[in-house]
């Protein structure tokens, strides 16, 4: 999996590509942790993410908790497969999914 | 036991009687003599009498011992002479009986010693040979590793009897993804049979690799056995080569029982009877072939398997063999499990006292694929390759892999397994994936998310099960032989692009 980072003031966007599974979930966790406490708004761009499993979804939810109370968390450009998985677990009802 | 009154005992009793009489006399004298010196008068009379008695008793005993000692010395000398020179002692009179007994004893002892020495030597030799033979049998059995490929597997096994019958099996790869296997029943027992079996195995491997065909390899084996066969042994056997690329099974039967085939039906492989090896320079052997379709297994075996008898004298027979093979086959865990199923059935039936070895080799060719995975997250890559490669262009392959990943990570995280067996099969319009692991009993179907999926309890695997339940058509969990078996059936609808 590849993660590209874009930071604009207190907002950050992580663009994910490849597979987010039990093997690679740690990479997203590390990338989010490295953003530091100064980031209040986080956007995950999933356009090039081909695959996600529950291990990846857990990282989405943990990142959302991190932003809770100080800013926003959203998923953008979510491909159909990823949207399906979010729907299966019910997470889609608890996250801001844009496009 | 009644004690005999010997001379020293009689003498001692007599002496004791006299002492008693002396004591009575002394007492009577003491009380009948009046006056102050009655005691001294009595002692003056009794003490000399006592001294005389003791001296007489001592002298009598000494005389007796001297005489006895001389007699014992004479007898010992005579016995010693008889033992060392094996001649008549010449003892006559009352010693003649003893003399004769000593003669007989000498002869019998010498004979017994010789026979015992011979028996010990023979026993030691037999035990040494049996030990070497067992080591040889063990060594050549253990050098055969199970052959596990994605779409088929082969494994052999043996149930050894009390005699060293040295029945053998072997399985090895010929080039890439071609399995060569055999079983053979050696006509003999003990060290010579073990040596012969070891040689057969080595020669056949060699010839199988260097011959143009299986038939040529078997003929070369026969020739080599005839040219150098000091123990004049022979064998019946079944030899085969399986190429899953073409589905072709080529085989040569050399007088062995026809192998059994188990799938949806039970059948014997049609074979020419063939001729045992090691007997004739031009044996009647035929190389045959058939297209071995997936969804079946083939088991070749030696006589000991079907001829094993229980306590009532009933033979194990073909019906029980078919049942055991079917039982192993239905577990869909590969050739090794089929072999274990048969060897365990034979052992249980024979009550652990087989009269003949039973060696067998199983070829398992299921519809689909199978593989072993290590319980490490890094194995996900191999799991992905296996599933995606198997499903090729199926539109639901990513979702099926997703469900498989969730199950795999559950096993890795929760069961403490050391191995995970994956089996994927197509059944009608469904894909069936089975995970079997040797971890703690763990039923993922009982896992429930606590407080909903969107809770603080993300690490408990609830999301994973939600995914599996929605992708899979049916999920079954059971424990079998201390293993967790999770079977998932995915209904596959072609053209569904999701």
What does the pLDDT read at residue B495? 41
Q: What percent of chain B has pLDDT over 90?
A: 35
| B29 has a pLDDT exceeding 90 | no
Closest residue to B466, CB basis, from A23, A51, A88: A88
pLDDT band with cut points at 50, 70 and 90 for residue A39? very high
| A26 has a pLDDT exceeding 70 | yes
CA–CA gap between residue B266 and residue B319 (Å, rounded): 10
Which residue did the predictor score with more confidence, B100 or B410?
B410
pLDDT digits (tens, 9 = 90+) for B377-399: 999 999 999 898 888 778 888 99
What mean pLDDT comes out for the span B164-193? Answer: 86
pLDDT digits (tens, 9 = 90+) for B300-310: 999 888 888 88
| B215 has a pLDDT exceeding 80 | yes
Closest residue to A89, CB basis, from B380, B401, B467: B467
Please provide residue B330's backbone torsions phi and psi, each rounded to the nearest 5 degrees: -70, -20
- Strands A96-98 and A72-76, sheet pairing: parallel
ipTM for the complex shown: 0.91
Q: How far, in whole angstroms, is CA B445 from its chain's centroid?
A: 40
Average pLDDT, chain B: 84
Q: Do B454 and A90 touch (CB under 8 A)?
A: yes
What mean pLDDT comes out for the span B45-67? Answer: 89
CA–CA gap between residue B405 and residue B397 (Å, rounded): 12
Which residue did the predictor score with more confidence, B431 or B133?
B431
Closest residue to A51, CB basis, from B398, B466, B498: B398
CA–CA gap between residue B469 and residue B447 (Å, rounded): 12
pTM: 0.57
Which residue did the predictor score with more confidence, B428 or A42?
A42
| B65 has a pLDDT exceeding 90 | no
| B332 has a pLDDT exceeding 70 | no
What does the pLDDT read at residue A18? 95
Top CATH class, B144-365: alpha beta
Q: Which residues of A touch B399 (CB under 8 A)?
A: 81, 84
| B429 has a pLDDT exceeding 60 | yes
Q: How far is B459 from chain A (nearest CA, A)?
A: 8
Q: How far apart are the first and last CA of chain B?
A: 104
**Computed from CA positions of residues A86, A88, A93, A94, in that sequence, does the dihedral angle turn out positive or negative?**
negative
Q: Is B465 exposed, middle or buried (0-12, 13-18, 19+ CB in 10 A)?
A: buried
| B117 has a pLDDT exceeding 90 | no
Kindly report which listed range (A41-50, B85-94, B170-179) carries the lowest average pLDDT score.
B85-94
pLDDT digits (tens, 9 = 90+) for B433-474: 989 999 988 887 776 654 444 444 444 457 888 899 889 988
pLDDT digits (tens, 9 = 90+) for B69-95: 888 888 778 777 766 655 555 566 666
What does the pLDDT read at residue B459? 47
Q: Residue B290: beta bridge partners? A: B249
Q: How far, in whole angstroms, is CA B222 from its chain's centroid?
A: 31
B35: left (phi over 0), alpha (psi -120 to 50) or beta: left
pLDDT digits (tens, 9 = 90+) for B260-301: 999 888 999 999 999 999 999 999 999 999 999 888 999 999
| B11 has a pLDDT exceeding 60 | yes
What does the pLDDT read at residue B224? 96
| B356 has a pLDDT exceeding 60 | yes
Which residue did the predictor score with more confidence, A96 or B230?
A96
Structure tokens at B127: 């035990």
pLDDT band with cut points at 50, 70 and 90 for residue B3? low
Domain ranges of chain B: 7-88, 144-365, 368-491
Q: Which residues of B touch A73 (CB under 8 A)?
A: none
Q: How far is A52 from chain B (nearest CA, A)?
A: 8
Closest residue to B405, CB basis, from A22, A50, A84: A22
What does the pLDDT read at residue B264? 86
**Secondary structure, 3-state, chain B:** CCCCCCHHHHHHHHHHHHHHHHHHHHHHHHHHCCCCCHHHHHHHHHHHHHHHHHHHHHHHHHHHHHHHHHHHHHHHHHHHHHHHHCCCCCCCHHHHHHHHHHHHHHHHHHHHHHHHHHHHHHHHHHHHHHHHHHHHHHHHHHCCCCEECCCCEEEEEEECCCCCCCCEEEEEECCCCCEEEEEEEECCCHHHHHHHHHHHHHHHHHHHHHCCCHHHHHHHHHHHHHHCCCCCCCEEEEEEEEECCCCEEEEEEEECCCCEEECCCEEECCCCCCCCECCCCCCCCCEEEEECCCCEEEEEECHHHHHCECCCCCECHHHHHHHHHHHHHHCCCCHHHHHHHHHHHHHHHHCCCCCCCEEEEEEEECCCEEEEECCCHHHHHHHHHHHHHHHCCCCCHHHHHHHHHHHHHHHHHHCCCCCEEEEEEEECCEEEEEEEECCCCCCHHHCCCCCCCCCCCHHHCHHHHHHHHHHCCEEEEEEECCEEEEEEEEECCCCCCC
Q: Which residues of A touch B406 (CB under 8 A)?
A: 53-54
Q: Does domain B368-491 have CATH number 1.20.120.1200?
A: no
Q: Do B463 and A81 touch (CB under 8 A)?
A: no
pLDDT band with cut points at 50, 70 and 90 for residue A73? very high
Which residue did the predictor score with more confidence, B51 or B330?
B51
Q: Do B402 and A53 touch (CB under 8 A)?
A: yes
Q: Residue B168: beta bridge partners? A: B184
């Amino acid at each position: 999996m590849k993660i590209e980072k874009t930071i604009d003031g207190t907002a950050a966007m992580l663009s994910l590509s490849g597979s987010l599974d039990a093997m690679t979930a740690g990479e997203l966790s590390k990338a989010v942790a490295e953003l530091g406490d100064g980031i209040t708004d986080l956007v995950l761009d999933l356009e090039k993410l081909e695959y996600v499993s529950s291990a990846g979804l857990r990282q989405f939810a943990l990142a959302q908790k991190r932003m809770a109370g100080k800013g926003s968390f959203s998923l953008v450009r979510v491909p159909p497969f990823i949207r399906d998985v979010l729907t299966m677990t019910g997470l889609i009802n608890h996250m801001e999914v844009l496009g | 036991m009644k004690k005999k009154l010997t001379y020293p005992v009689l003498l001692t009793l007599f002496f004791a009687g006299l002492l008693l009489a002396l004591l009575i006399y002394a007492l009577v004298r003491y009380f009948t003599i009046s006056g102050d010196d009655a005691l001294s008068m009595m002692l003056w009379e009794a003490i000399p009498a006592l001294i005389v008695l003791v001296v007489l008793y001592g002298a009598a005993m000494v005389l007796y011992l001297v005489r006895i000692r001389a007699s014992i010395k004479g007898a010992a000398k005579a016995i010693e002479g008889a033992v060392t020179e094996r001649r008549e002692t010449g003892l006559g009179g009352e010693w003649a009986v003893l003399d004769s007994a000593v003669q007989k004893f000498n002869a019998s002892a010498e004979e017994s010693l010789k026979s015992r020495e011979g028996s010990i030597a023979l026993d030691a030799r037999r035990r040494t040979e049996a030990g070497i033979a067992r080591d040889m049998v063990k060594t050549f059995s253990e050098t055969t590793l199970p052959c596990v490929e994605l779409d088929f597997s082969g494994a052999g096994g043996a149930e050894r009897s009390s005699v060293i019958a040295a029945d053998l099996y072997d399985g090895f790869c010929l080039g890439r993804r071609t399995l060569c296997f055999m079983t053979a029943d050696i006509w003999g027992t003990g060290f010579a049979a073990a040596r012969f079996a070891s040689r057969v195995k080595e020669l056949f491997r060699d010839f199988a690799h260097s011959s143009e065909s299986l038939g040529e390899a078997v003929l070369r084996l026969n020739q080599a056995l005839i040219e150098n066969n000091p123990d004049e042994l022979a064998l019946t056997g079944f030899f085969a080569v399986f190429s899953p690329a073409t589905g072709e099974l080529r085989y040569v039967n050399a007088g062995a029982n026809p192998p059994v085939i188990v799938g949806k039906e039970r059948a014997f492989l049609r074979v020419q009877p063939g001729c045992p090896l090691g007997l004739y320079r031009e044996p009647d052997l035929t190389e045959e072939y058939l297209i071995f379709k997936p969804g079946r297994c083939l088991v070749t075996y030696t006589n000991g398997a079907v001829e094993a008898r229980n306590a009532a004298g009933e033979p194990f027979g073909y019906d029980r063999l078919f049942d055991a093979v079917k039982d192993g086959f239905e577990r869909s865990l590969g050739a090794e499990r089929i072999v274990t199923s048969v060897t365990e059935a034979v052992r249980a039936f024979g009550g652990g006292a087989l009269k003949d070895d039973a060696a067998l080799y199983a070829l398992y060719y299921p519809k689909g694929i199978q593989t072993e995975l290590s319980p490490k997250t890094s194995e996900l890559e191999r799991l992905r390759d296996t599933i995606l490669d198997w499903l090729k262009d199926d539109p639901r392959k990513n979702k099926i892999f997703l469900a498989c990943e969730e199950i795999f990570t559950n096993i890795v995280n929760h069961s403490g397994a050391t191995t995970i067996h994956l089996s994927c099969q197509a059944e009608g319009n469904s894909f069936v994936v089975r995970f079997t692991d040797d971890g703690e009993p763990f039923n993922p179907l009982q896992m429930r998310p606590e407080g909903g999926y969107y809770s603080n309890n993300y690490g408990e695997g609830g999301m994973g099960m939600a995914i599996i339940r929605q992708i899979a058509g049916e999920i079954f969990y059971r424990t079998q032989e201390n293993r967790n078996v999770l079977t998932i059936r995915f209904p596959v609808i072609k053209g569904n692009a999701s």
